[in-house]
A and B are shown apart, each in its own frame.
Chain A
Amino acid sequence: MKYIILIVLLLSTFFLFYEGLKNDPRIIPSNLISKEIPRFRLNSFDNKSFEDNDLRTKDLKLVNFFASWCPPCKLEHSNLIELSENLKIYGIAKKDTIKNINTWFSNMGNPYTKIGFDHDGMVSINWGVYGLPETFIINADQKIIYRHVGAITKKDMKKIKLFLDKN
């Protein structure tokens, strides 16, 4: 009985390790989670403008940071098209041109409702994007509720669909 503290300490350490196994230390959560979307204003694909007010609608939507020069972005493209059947996806193209994007879409289709051009990368910085692609889920209250770093693979699709269903 007198060693009960030791045993509790030992077991809680093991429990800690067990829980730790579920987390990937390489994934760094966004500081923007459960915060409002940052303000921005960009030139859009259809030669108008794309700004944060376009995202302030009462539905669930995705914001996807991508570029036609980014190979992993091509990898997730078919998955984005699948997702776009059920909800709106807004794209922010980093350091990209209309011509390159057009070539890409003519081959693989366009999942985006609207695309903005982030020529100098400032909007990406404000969103805390450090690599392409990155995807954010924004809820009806215009708050960011989820962030996905890297290409959305088939495995990630399940996770994201589950998340979308819950909200």
Chain B
Amino acid sequence: MISELGLVFLFLALILSSLSFIKLNLGLFNINFSSLCNIKITNVVFVLILSSFITLTYSFIQSDFSLDVVVNNSNSQLPFIYKITGVWGNHEGSILLWLLVMTFFGFIFSKVRNINYQFKELVLTIQNSLIFLVSLFIVFTSNPFRKSFPPKIEGIDLNPLLQDPGLAIHPPFLYLGYVGFSIVYSISLALISDKSNFKFIGILKPWVFISWTFLTIGIGLGSWWAYYELGWGGFWFWDPVENASLLPWLTASTLLHTILLANNNTLFFKWTIFLAIFTFILSLLGTFLVRSGVLVSVHAFANDPSRGLFILFLLLVITLFGFTRFLKVLDNKNHKEINLLSREGVISLNSIFMLSLTFTILIGTIYPIFSNVVLNKKISVGAPFFNSILSPMMIPLTIGMIVGPFIKWGQDDLKFLINRIKYVVLLVLISSLAIWYFNFGGPILSIIFFILGGSLIVSSTYELTLFFCIGKEKVKLSKKILSQILAHLGIGILIIGVTGSSILKEEKIQFQSVGEEITIKEFDIKFLGVKTIEGENYISQMGLFDIKKGGKFIKRMMPEKRFYNSGKQMTTEAAISSGIFGDLYIALGDKSENNPDEKKWTTRIWYNPFTMWIWISVILLAIAGLISFVRFSQLRL
């Protein structure tokens, strides 16, 4: 009964938001009905969608098997927490969550004080129109409140891979990031709707930073989940769904830089608006690629061409609307010249590199579609392509990050610059030589990237120390500098983490008999056997491994294979022993069937150097983003 209410809320939200959509379209023809208050609509729609979402959550908790979505993604035996996360562990529910986040951002925006009333109305007209389009999508193609007929008495189950705390929080964060850019899109379009609105560019800043922060955390969590749950020994596989989240992250990272200069430079103003629009479009494109089934991806949502068609339609409307508006601003030519040797120059150059990187990854991601449609050949583009384009692009980008912060705004002088960075150069040289000397036994490519990452860490740390010991004067460390330093430090650490865990990774896959010892790096890994244990809703085979280093026992590792639903579905729970210099990673495979008397199992053992640095870098980046958010939103902490 209560689930009908959820659908009613959804319909009411659709009807209310359609008013804003009509107003926006009439506005294009200069017809005005200004009596409509979009702020109120935003607030009511938020409450409606929130109620609808709570209703759905309630249905999941109550195991209401009269709903299709509950039948397919839940089960009365499911632990309570996964009954709740099951709400977004499927297509319909996750799109409702997406809509909820969209209305949430609109709601928060409507509550911000010190924003010109007319401007706020305009932003919310656009935001409500987006909400209308997404509600339409839900009602017509992805209704989570669809009844199952005939009603079932038990649900199938939530995909066991999703029964994991990491994945429980990954989608909400990712959506806060993706969908956060909807408000960024709305604000940008409102900014360029009229020349007199250009001055409100500052309003955009906190939204860009908070969305970027959420997106960073969301990607980080997804990657972390893939690392320990899939049992493939890696954290990034260049799957379309991963690329779909990386693309808006790259443009958003560029946006973080250009927006700081958008106040008083028309060129950067244009860059900012372009990137803001483009980032949201890329977020939507990701949704299209993953949900329509045009590409094969680890995110195997039930694909439905009618859904794909609808998202494509949304994407077309939003892209055309955004870019036709943007083209008008493009004609405004009177901007200041930019010197190459200035902070602006470096940021411009880096923006171009970042955008090239984005487009190359984009082309790699959608090339299988092109090849299929135009060349009639099925291919997939894999890691070698992406790695080989990423590596050369990272070199200028990192150098920009090392030198950039020391270059002055406006115009710099090479002589003064060299004087300013002489210690940095010296430190970088020393650390490079040290890395070369201790090169961790890796190939030349790993040395280059260790040097780049190391140099970035050194230069950022140097920049930080400048504020603590700059003679007798006490210089206050501003939030602006601190967030920039932390972010660049994060990227430096990320480079080392990624290089270590991809290029220097060691892998051993074998049939291992009980009692046999395998040596990887400096560890001796003895296989003690497999025991069966029972969990709340699964049965698990647990492998026991004793780890020794130099003959001394360190710890016991216990990777598992879990069988859910009376053995129909299996998940791998890798055992990971993390250390600052590397992770020991063990995944248990199948028992050898060649000879039943032999106690041999497939074991996959990896040594992944510096993987922990990746997670540290995500935390640093998130902190940096939050600091900037606090600074621009003028929160008092």
Contact = CB atoms under 8 A, between A and B. Distances in A.
Interface of A: 3, 6, 10, 13-14, 16-26, 28-29
B356 interface: no
Contacts of A26: 296
A30 to B, nearest CB: 11
A96 to B, nearest CB: 20
Nearest to A28: B378
Contact of A25 (B309, B315, B372): B372
Contacts of A14: 312, 315-316
Give the bracket for the number of chain B residues in contact with chain A. 20 to 34
27 contacts: A10-B320, A14-B315, A14-B316, A16-B369, A16-B374, A17-B288, A17-B312, A17-B369, A18-B309, A20-B294, A20-B369, A20-B372, A20-B373, A21-B294, A21-B305, A21-B308, A21-B312, A22-B305, A23-B294, A23-B372, A23-B373, A25-B294, A25-B295, A25-B296, A25-B372, A25-B378, A28-B378
B278 to A, nearest CB: 12
Interface string B312-325: 10011001100100
A19 B373 contact: yes
Nearest to A3: B327
A28 B370 CA distance: 16
A21 B312 CA distance: 10
B292 interface: yes
Interface of B: 288, 292-296, 305, 308-309, 312, 315-316, 319-320, 323, 327, 366, 368-370, 372-374, 378
Given A3-B327, A21-B305, A26-B296, A16 B373 contact: yes
A6 to B, nearest CB: 8
A21 B296 contact: no
A32 to B, nearest CB: 15
A59 to B, nearest CB: 29
B568 to A, nearest CB: 14
Contacts of B366: 13, 16-17
A23 B323 CA distance: 29
A19 B370 CA distance: 9
B125 to A, nearest CB: 25
Contact of A29 (B320, B323, B378): B378
Nearest to B312: A17
Contacts of A16: 366, 369-370, 373-374
Contacts of B308: 21
B189 to A, nearest CB: 17
Contacts of A19: 373
Given A19-B373, A20-B294, 13 more contacts: A16-B369, A16-B373, A17-B294, A17-B366, A20-B369, A21-B294, A21-B305, A23-B372, A23-B373, A25-B296, A25-B368, A25-B378, A28-B378
A20 B327 CA distance: 28
A10 B296 CA distance: 23
A22 B305 CA distance: 7
Contacts of B368: 25
Given A10-B323, A14-B312, A29-B378, A24 B373 contact: no
A105 to B, nearest CB: 30
- Considering the complex of A and B, which 4 residue pairs feature the smallest CB-CB distances, nearest first? A20-B369, A20-B294, A19-B373, A25-B296
A55 to B, nearest CB: 27
B363 to A, nearest CB: 11
Contacts of B295: 25
A14 B366 CA distance: 11
A13 B378 CA distance: 18
A26 B378 CA distance: 9
Contacts of B296: 25-26
B364 to A, nearest CB: 15
A18 B312 CA distance: 7
A23 B379 CA distance: 13
A14 B368 CA distance: 15
Contact of B293 (A6, A10, A24): A24
Contact of A10 (B294, B309, B319): B319
A16 B289 CA distance: 12
Contacts of A29: 378
A21 to B, nearest CB: 5
Contacts of A10: 319-320, 323
Contacts of A21: 292-294, 305, 308-309, 312
A25 B366 CA distance: 12
A1 to B, nearest CB: 11
A71 to B, nearest CB: 14
A20 B516 CA distance: 51
A3 B325 CA distance: 13
A6 B319 CA distance: 12
B359 to A, nearest CB: 12
B293 A25 contact: yes
Nearest to B297: A25
A18 B294 CA distance: 9
Contacts of B315: 14, 17
A6 B372 CA distance: 23
A23 B295 CA distance: 9
A18 B366 CA distance: 13
Contacts of A17: 288, 294, 312, 315, 366, 369
A29 B315 CA distance: 30
Most chain B CB inside 10 Å of its own CB: which residue of A6, A22, A23, A26: A23
Contacts of B293: 21, 24-25
Nearest to B303: A24
**Which has the most chain A C-beta neighbours within 10 Å: B366, B368, B370, B373?**
B373
Contacts of B323: 6, 10
B322 to A, nearest CB: 11
Nearest to B330: A3
Nearest to B370: A16
A6 B330 CA distance: 13
Contacts of A13: 366
